[in-house]
Amino acid sequence: MLAPSSAETSSIEPRAVRSIVGWLVLAGAPCAFAQSPSAPRFAPPNLTPAGVRALAANCAQCHGTDGRPAPGSVLPALAGRDARDLAQALLDFRAGRARATVMDQLAKGYSDAEIAALADYFAARGR
């Protein structure tokens, strides 16, 4: 058998090189996608006075402005209640120990710091 000439060994078709590189990249792609994604990073809670007012505004739809529901409402007033009681109620909703139409779902979205801030906010509103 004859040995290939230097012209035959030194020239590889560019298309062949691209094809080989492409296959190598695709072969390694599953490894890159198999890594589990990191958990999403959320912004820290905004516990400034304006941030807590914004959180409390979420409660106004049902519990009324500043935690005072409309007269005759069956929903409890939040304004002026003891902060510890309010915080415990939210923690119970969040943990599933208490159930309500939507409160057990809404409370799951609040951190401990946000629950404490909301409880303090409504306790300070006075009855």
Domain boundaries, the chain: 49-123
Inter-residue contact 117 to 52 (CB < 8 Å):
yes
Rg value, the chain, Cα:
31
Please, how many CA atoms are within 13 Å of residue 74, restricted to the half-sphere of its CB? 2
Q: Cα angle at 122 between 62 and 98, to 5 degrees?
A: 60
CATH number attached to the domain at 49-123: 1.10.760.10
pTM, whole model, 2 decimals?
A: 0.65
127 residues of the chain, pLDDT tens digit each: 556 555 555 567 777 667 776 665 566 655 555 566 666 666 787 899 999 999 999 999 999 999 999 999 999 999 999 999 999 999 999 999 999 989 989 999 999 999 999 999 999 998 7
Gap between the Cα atoms of 58 and 47, Å rounded? 15
Residue whose tokens read 């309500």:
100
Gap between the Cα atoms of 115 and 89, Å rounded? 10
